[in-house]
Amino acid sequence: MAITLGIIGFGGMGGWHARNACKVPGITVKGAYDIDPVRVQAARDEGLVGYDTLEALLGDKEINTVLVATPNDKHPELAIAAMDAGKNCISEKPVAMTVAELDQMIEAGRRNGVIFTVHQNRRWDKDFVTAKTVIESGDLGQIFTIQSRLHGTGGTVFGWRGEVEHGGGMLFDWGVHFLDQMYYMCGYDTFTDVYCQFSRVKTEAVEDYLILTLNTNKGYRVIIEIGTFLLHDTPRWLIGGEKGTCYIQNFDAKEGAVITANAKEEDEPVIIMTSAGPTRTFSPRPAGSKLYAPLPQVDPQWTDFYANVDAAIQGKEELIVQPWQVRKVLCCIEACFTSAKTGEVVKL
């Protein structure tokens, strides 16, 4: 059984799925429903079936899988409706705004015997797969810090992503991606607690800057920092280990390196002068005493997400994005909100 997809919500992401999922062998995108008739027409203009009602889409026997790509607050209701109509369901991220809602979604999948998953597409981001490959290589030795950063320069949060009631804010928008990456990479029993803080720099209603620390039971610490307005470039990834450092500058993983120390490390550092005093600990490493290795070449294919869902529906593969995994991440997100509100570290 190949996927015949119906899309609920034909905004930016819904349209993007329509134009890209169809490139995956075995996936047919049949049509879309949106509460906005203009968008239903837009779907028709792209050669899809435009459904005027949710019932019409869910009643289409050809559709066996529904993608929910609405504002975040509508994911649970629509996903449950789709699964109760016997469809497999892919929810956009964040799957839900509370764990309680997610549990209802998971239960709907179980009782209807359908596949339920979440579009955590950034597991296929090139920068992330590169970072994961470097960390798993062991080249950095025991890691002490993993820093995942993304700073926009526009200062803008778009549309409903700026509204609390629709699940706006950076934690739900990008925090969920970066947390999902960390759990997927570091393991689902690795994180012990979280400390998370928000700022509202240029957006009134929701956090447009966040920084969080995830502590682990494996001797390192994870920092995730996301904002919409910082005008100096920072590396997307900075990973520090006892043997070396890796940085990955951007999403495309073109700029970056795995830097290790060569034998000159053992040289006695000279004392250097700053304007107000000397330092030996922070004297620069002698020229040539850092070894730069290129980043490993990886070529993740986002289309594997849909190929996997298709294979899972056919019983040929385990889902890559498992509901219990997104539940772990959503528990962490709830803890982040609690931490940001109380100013305390929250156990996971």
Q: Count of CB atoms within 10 A of residue 142's CB? A: 11
Q: Give per-residue burial for 115-139: e unless 16+ CB within 10 Å, then b.
A: bbbbbbbbbebbbbbbbbbbbeeeb
Residues of this chain, 159-198, that bind a second copy according to CB under 8 A = 161, 173-174, 193, 195, 197
How many residues touch a second copy (CB under 8 A)? 77
Residues of this chain, 250-279, that bind a second copy according to CB under 8 A = 251-252, 257, 259-261, 265, 269, 271, 274-278
The answer to whether 348 contacts a second copy (rule: CB under 8 A) is no
The answer to whether 213 contacts a second copy (rule: CB under 8 A) is yes
Binding mask 217-236 for a second copy (x = CB under 8 A): ---xx-x---xxxxxx-xx-
Give the residue carrying structure tokens 């596949």: 115
Q: Give per-residue burial for 295-311: e unless 16+ CB within 10 Å, then b.
A: bbeeebebeebbbbbbb
Choosing from 23, 110, 254, 280, the residue that interacts with a second copy (CB under 8 A) is 280
Using the minimum distance from each CB to a second copy, give the nearer residue, 26 or 300: 300
Choosing from 28, 98, 190, 245, the residue that interacts with a second copy (CB under 8 A) is 245
Angle between helices 99-112 and 323-342 (to 10 degrees): 170
Using the minimum distance from each CB to a second copy, give the nearer residue, 85 or 214: 214
Using the minimum distance from each CB to a second copy, give the nearer residue, 262 or 314: 262
Q: Are 122 and 180 in contact (CB under 8 A)?
A: yes
CA distance 141 to 160: 43
Using the minimum distance from each CB to a second copy, give the nearer residue, 74 or 123: 123
Radius of gyration of the chain (CA): 23
Composition of the chain by helix, strand, coil, percent to 5: 35, 25, 40
- What is the residue-wise DSSP string for 15-68? HHHHHHHTTSTTEEEEEEE-SSHHHHHHHHHTTSEEESSHHHHHT-TT--EEEE
The answer to whether 293 contacts a second copy (rule: CB under 8 A) is no
Q: Which stretch binds a second copy (CB under 8 A): 94-102, 110-118, 148-156, 306-314?
A: 148-156
The answer to whether 288 contacts a second copy (rule: CB under 8 A) is no
Binding mask 59-88 for a second copy (x = CB under 8 A): ------------------------------
The answer to whether 343 contacts a second copy (rule: CB under 8 A) is yes
Q: How far is the CB of 244 from a second copy (least distance, A)?
A: 6
Amino acid at position 173, single letter: D
